[in-house]
Each structure stands twice: as structure tokens, then as C-alpha cells.
Structure 1
Amino acid sequence: MTQFIDCLIIGGGQAGLAMSRCLVEAGIENVVLERGSLANRWTEARWPSLRLLTPGWMTRLPGQQLAGEADGFLGAADLAERLQGYARTQGLPVIENIDVLALEKLGDRFRAVTSHGSWIARSVVVATGACDRPRIPGWGRKLSAAIQQISSSQYRGVDHLPEGGVLVVGASATGVQLAGEIAASGRQTMLAAGSHVRSPRRYRGRDLFEWLDASGFLADRTPGGRSPAQLIAQPSLQLIGSGDAREVDLFSLARSGVIVAGRAVSAAGSVIGFADDLPEGMARAEQRRQRMLSGIDSFIESAGIDAPEEPQAHKLGGLLIPMAGAIDLREHGISTVLWATGYRRDYSWIHFDACDAQGELRQHGGLCDVPGLFALGLPFMRHRASSFIDGVGRDAEAIAPIIANYLHAHEGLRVA
């Protein structure tokens, strides 16, 4: 059976739901197709102890505040329930457990071939997000089969890991959180660190995100001259969703017993090689930190806000001499490599020319160069917060009128 729609939204996470709500408000007929249950990645591809990095008051989508300040940092399962509730209360047209097998171009329209029939759409929003498939380097295949390999999306807690120590690869928010959790269980833990941003949980009496939001830092427009792949690869802040203002970075992890190494760059059997450029990477991380904190300081001064100064936050985190060179994981008691190296996007189901040489959608601010095709939920897509729950809603509000104008300009708009 073939069905017809003005706008087809692929992906039922926060991005797809925000887009649907904005289009419903604009009177544009749309439907959201979700391959699993609504917001399923928050429960099926996240570890149980995960909490959002953003406080509850930032958990909002168009037309509804999903959490408040008193909720603190929501857990993944709690957020999934709230997103499901959002879809119900907003009356959004969502179809669950339907897999889009192929998206084809059909003249000036699109045909989506799904596991339950086909859809002909005049416009399509790809809202599958940035966390699609784990990005694991090809040389990982050279590791011995005796070394268990899992991605952060497969991690379900320390008790589910094989006996022995763990090497966590990646030092952005996910990597440092997992390394801290595993080390706290008493296991031998190593962390291979690459690009990162050392960040305080609180600064000058307030949560970091309160300052970043108020100062306009999160609204900074996407920098020009960078490809979609470069923007998506930007490291996330080293933070943990914790009401006790606990900080997590390479220095605190080293103090807790984690062995910090440089970037993991090669493997042969049970031997893994680490680069020797972490000191330079840490220097860049400190520069990013200082720019961020100095920007907050300037905002506080210009706004005349009474906030206690915090010179300690501007100091280096301590002395750290990372491991470099090659080591034998088995000799160090390491039986598992946990990849916290981010994700790649899989657009192989798009059967027309829409992606660049790196496999990323060719888009600028969510507008693809294929007429009628749009994107939502990618990091730095329109501003710094484009992949945040709060930011994706603002992007949806900005893109919805563009979709409406496109449909009006191409005749036959059906108003819901």
C-alpha cells in the first residue's frame, strides 16, 4: 500500500518529535516514522546510569517544558518516558516499529520504501540524529579475538563486562564518565584520550549551562568554512550530570587510579599503540576552557551580575604524564576495549545523491542541497546547541517555516 504525505519525518527521537510539533502548529500534514519504539535509543543504546549533561530546566521542546530545575539531571529512561508523553500530549502523528528501507527520488517528490508499505512525500526531514552507528577505527579489527570489544552503546554496566581490566578509548563526555564508573568498581582502568574540552560542572556559583545559556554561548552560530564531518567531530564537554558539582576530567581520573594514555592509534594482537601528542591535546583543551570561562566572565561583568569570582577554575588541573608508545593489554590485565569514539551516520538507505565524500548529508543549517530534503538534530547544525534537546527545538522552529514556504511554492499543499 502506498500513502501520500506533505512532509515525512524519519526518526522518532527528540528531533523528529520537535519537527512534527512545529509542522502540526503550522497546519502542515506530516507523519513521523520510527524504526523502534518512540525514543528507543535513550533506553536501548544508553547505559543505565547515564544522566543528561544538561539540567532539567533545559529539557524542553516546542510547546512543552519536559522537566524543571527540581528534576536535576534526568536519567535516560526517565527522558524516554517524557518524550513519549510529549508525543501523546501534543497529539503527534507517530508510527512506531516501522523501518525505512530506502528513500528514493521520484521526480520532484520522494518515495520511502518501508517495512510496512511505501510513502510518497513532497518533503522529507531526516531526523535520525548524530548517534547512529558506533564509529570504531578500522585497525580495531587487528586486535586479538581474546580481547573483548564493545561500543559505548552496548555498555550496560560494569557487572556485564568480562572479568579483568578495561581500556576506554575516547575522552569526551562519554569516555570520561565510563572510565570513572569502571574505575570506581575497583577494576584496572585505562583511558586513551584524544581531543577533549575540560569543563567545570559549576562556575561562579551557578551550573555551567546556566552561564552558557544566558551569555549566548550556546546560541553561537555555526562557524563557516568547515565541512559537516568536521562540525560533527567537535569534542563534547567533559561533564557528568551530577547535582553534587562533581567534575570529571583526565586529572581527577588519574587521581582515582585511572591510567591515562594518549590517542589509541594502532593494534596488533593484544598490543595497542598510543600516540605521544596528548600533552599538546591537553594544552588545546585548556585553551578551550579558558576561552569559555573568559567569555562567561565578560558576560557577568557586562550584565552587572553579582557572582563570586573563582580564580581556582582558571588554573591547570594538575600534573599528568600520559602513557605513550605500545603496550600489551594482557600484560596489564586488560581484557576489554570499550569504544567511546563517537558515532558515524549511516545514510546508505538514501538512494540518491545527498551525501558528501565523508558520507555526511550535504546540508547547511538543516537545508540540504536536494530540494525538499531537510535535516535536524546534527551537532553544530545551526548553533552550538543544535544537538541538545533544548537546541533541537529551536532549530525545528526555524526550519518549519522554510518547509512551509517550500511546500507552498510547489503547489498542492494539503493543510491538516
Structure 2
Amino acid sequence: MYDVMIIGAGQAGLTIGYYLKQSKKSFIIIDKANEIGESWKNRYDSLVLFTPRMYSSLPGMKLEGDAHQFPSKDEIAQYLKKYVKRFELPVQLQTEVRNVSKRDGCFHIHTSQGYFQSRNLIVAIGPFQTANIPSFVKNLSHSVYQIHTSDYKNPSQLKEGNVLVVGGGNSGAQIAVELSEEKNTYLAHRKKLKFLPVTIRKKSIFWWFDKLGILKATNSSMLGRVIQKKEDIIFGYELKQAIKNNKVNVKNMVIDAKRNRVFFSDGSHLDVENIIWATGYKSSIPWLEIDGVFDDLGRIVHHRGVTNIEGLFFIGLPWQYRRGSALLQGVGADAKYIADRVMVDR
């Protein structure tokens, strides 16, 4: 019987472990991955964070290198491995959760590597579990090559012909720019694209956000509510320049598809050879079989990660409390809050 079990060994789960290591609580962190940092390593090859190193560290250990420059995804993966080693965090990999229930005051966790019991359970799997792809993709011909950003690595995966990137977030923007060097590239987005620079006067825009209090804006504050409405902002002007140079062609929102043709909300259509779905993710936790965790719309019911179920917590959710709750630079505050609740309450 553990005092605490943490499901997920990404930045959120490891940060919780950092704080629990300072207590007398017995705990374990489990993850289905084969190695620490695997989710970062598996992302597309050219990925570079738009947050600089000074805002990409976890509590207790700075990310090495120029604080104002931007780390690569492989750098973050290596950093997480070093984090586990430095703080001797008890991580068990290759352990996939099959079922979680609660009875007799404790959690019963069935996994691919056996059965566990724990007085407290912290779900730290983050928001990126299941690719969110529209249902009409079934109408597309098998000749159209389709891939979600979670599986995209580099342009060599695509077949000959044009490419449509669906979704105008930062990942979609970076990938569209990369592909535009080799292919006739289109980008479909449901709203007008909005851009911000990554640096202002040689300092990261996140440095300015920090000074203005934006990084600490809570989900219920007036500033926080305003920011949440503008979450689709793209950092950097590379895509804006590619559009200006006619290297990326902007299209309206995709509403349907048939055979090799995609239809847009303005009534236009496009015949495509490749589609990259940069359409984000949806939460999927089918193994958590505990009543009262989700509302009627499937959303997690919580306050700052603390649920109505005694001993059950979440961490790493978007806007769990602040703008950076699901990011490296913001997860530490949430982790300390939850760790304090665990150490006091039970």
C-alpha cells in the first residue's frame, strides 16, 4: 500500500514527485512509456519550444544553456531524464493502467505490471491523450495520406503532391512553414490568424509576460478570462512571412470531405494529396471508473486539481489554475499546491 500513486511520468508527475520526495510519504510514479521524456522525443523533428529556457525548467533544477534561447524537444527529453536521476524519483515505466476504482477508503489500480493500492491517487497524464480528428475523415479516399501532428515527424513521411494542414495553432504553424519549403502548402483555420513576436528588444515575450503578471493570471481572474479567449495566438512571424510570400495559402475552416476533396466554410473546396490534422487532442480516461469525477459533458470536476473524491487529484490540465498549468514553466506551482494537500489531508 502506497501513500500516493502518480499516474504519468511527464513534467507534471515528476514535479509532484519532487515535492513528495521532501516528505515521509511513500509513493511511486508509473507510466506506460519505455523511457522518460518519450512523449517529447516522439514529437516532430523540428519542434522548438516558444518558451525560452528560463521559463522551461521544473522546480529545483534549471535547464542548462542560454536562458533567453529556446530549447529543442530532445533537449527537454534529456532534461527530464536528468531530473529523475538527480532527485532519485521512484519511476516505474512500461506500466499501463487498465482500471482504477475506489473502495474501502483506498484506490485499487490494475496495470499491465500488476496490482497496486494507494491511499491517494494523482492523475498526471496531461491533456494530450487522444488525437481529435473530425468524423468526416471516413469519407476521404484511402489515396489521401492523413496524419495527426502527434505522429508527424518530418516531410519525408508525406507522398507526392500538395498538403493541407488543418488547424492554426503553434504546432500547425510550425509544420506548415516547414512543409512550404518542399510542397504546395495550404493551412485551414477557423479564425483569423493572430501573431505575436517571440522576442521584444532581445528578450523573450514570456519575460515581458512575467513582468506584466500574465504568467500568474489565474483562470478566474479578469485577465485570465481575457487571455483564455486569445489562446489561439501564434508565436513568431515565420508563418506570417510565408503567407505574405505565397508559400502558404490560407483557407477557411474545413467542414466536410469526400474522396480526395475537402470542403471549406466559405463554400470553396480543394483536392488534396496529403492532410496533417493539427486539430489538438481530447481527454480520454476510460480506465478511471469512479463516479463523480466527470460532469455531464465529460469534463473533470475539480478546483485547482482537487476533486470531490477524497484522495483523488489531477495535475497538468490546461488552465488548471494559471495559464502555464499544462506547461513546463507553470506546472510547479500546481504541483506544490497538490503535494501540500496530499501531505496535510491524508
- Specify if TM > 0.5: yes
> Which position in structure 2 is the counterpart of 1:306?
none
Does the 8 Å CA contact 1:271/1:326 hold for their aligned counterparts? no
**Aligned in 2, Cα 1:223/1:267: closer, same or farther, shift over 3 Å?**
farther
> Which position in structure 1 is the counterpart of 2:249?
259
Aligned counterparts, 1:184-263, within 5 A = 184-185=181-182, 187-195=183-191, 197-223=194-220, 235-239=231-235, 247-250=237-240, 252-263=242-253
- CA RMSD, aligned part only? 2.0
In 1: Cα distance, 2:310 partner to 2:232 partner: 32
> Which position in structure 2 is the counterpart of 1:361?
300
Aligned counterparts, 1:306-321, within 5 A = none
1:31 lines up with 2:28 in the alignment: yes
> Which position in structure 2 is the counterpart of 1:318?
none
Question: 1:14 deviation in Å?
Answer: 0.5
In 2: Cα distance, 1:103 partner to 1:268 partner: 41
Is the partner of 1:64 in helix, strand or coil?
coil
Aligned counterparts, 1:140-151, within 5 A = 140-151=137-148
Question: 1:346 deviation in Å?
Answer: 1.1
> Which position in structure 2 is the counterpart of 1:392?
331
1:160 lines up with 2:102 in the alignment: no
1:382 lines up with 2:324 in the alignment: no
Does the 8 Å CA contact 1:254/1:260 hold for their aligned counterparts? no
Is the partner of 1:86 in helix, strand or coil?
helix
Match of 2:128 among 127, 131, 142: 131
Question: 1:249 deviation in Å?
Answer: 4.1
1:79 lines up with 2:18 in the alignment: no
Question: 1:256 deviation in Å?
Answer: 4.3
Aligned counterparts, 1:56-135, within 5 A = 56-70=53-67, 72-135=69-132
Aligned counterparts, 1:300-339, within 5 A = 324-329=266-271, 334-339=272-277
In 1: Cα distance, 2:307 partner to 2:117 partner: 19
2:41 is aligned with what amino acid? T
> Which position in structure 2 is the counterpart of 1:347?
285
> Which position in structure 2 is the counterpart of 1:180?
177
Larger Rg: 1
Is the partner of 2:268 in helix, strand or coil?
strand
Structure 1 unaligned residues grouped into runs of 5+: 226-230, 241-246, 276-323, 408-416
In 2: Cα distance, 1:17 partner to 1:392 partner: 10
Structure showing the higher helix proportion among its residues: 1
> Which position in structure 2 is the counterpart of 1:268?
258
Amino-acid identity (%) = 30
Deviations 1:242-265 (A, max 9, x none): xxxxx2344643424211011111
Is the partner of 1:65 in helix, strand or coil?
coil
Question: 1:73 deviation in Å?
Answer: 1.3
Question: 1:239 deviation in Å?
Answer: 2.0
Does the 8 Å CA contact 1:57/1:68 hold for their aligned counterparts? no
Structure 2 unaligned residues grouped into runs of 5+: none
> Which position in structure 2 is the counterpart of 1:52?
49
2:339 is aligned with what amino acid? A
**Aligned in 2, Cα 1:233/1:122: closer, same or farther, shift over 3 Å?**
farther
Does the 8 Å CA contact 2:51/2:204 hold for their aligned counterparts? no
Match of 2:312 among 373, 393, 403: 373
Is the partner of 2:150 in helix, strand or coil?
coil
> Which position in structure 1 is the counterpart of 2:40?
42
In 2: Cα distance, 1:370 partner to 1:24 partner: 24
Does the 8 Å CA contact 2:68/2:204 hold for their aligned counterparts? no
2:321 is aligned with what amino acid? R
Does the 8 Å CA contact 2:163/2:275 hold for their aligned counterparts? yes
Range moving further from structure 2, 352-361 or 340-349: 352-361
Deviations 1:107-145 (A, max 9, x none): 321111001111111111110011111111112222222
Question: 1:57 deviation in Å?
Answer: 1.3
In 1: Cα distance, 2:65 partner to 2:210 partner: 15
Question: 1:218 deviation in Å?
Answer: 1.0
1:402 lines up with 2:341 in the alignment: yes
**Aligned in 2, Cα 1:165/1:12: closer, same or farther, shift over 3 Å?**
same
Does the 8 Å CA contact 1:48/1:157 hold for their aligned counterparts? yes
**Aligned in 2, Cα 1:357/1:273: closer, same or farther, shift over 3 Å?**
farther
In 1: Cα distance, 2:41 partner to 2:228 partner: 23
Question: 1:203 deviation in Å?
Answer: 2.4
**Aligned in 2, Cα 1:122/1:401: closer, same or farther, shift over 3 Å?**
same
Deviations 1:218-271 (A, max 9, x none): 11001379xxxxx9997343125xxxxxx2344643424211011111112222
In 1: Cα distance, 2:334 partner to 2:21 partner: 15
Normalised TM-score (structure 1): 0.77
Question: 1:75 deviation in Å?
Answer: 1.2
Deviations 1:321-362 (A, max 9, x none): xxx323141xxxx31110001111111011122222333322
In 1: Cα distance, 2:21 partner to 2:194 partner: 38
Does the 8 Å CA contact 2:149/2:278 hold for their aligned counterparts? yes
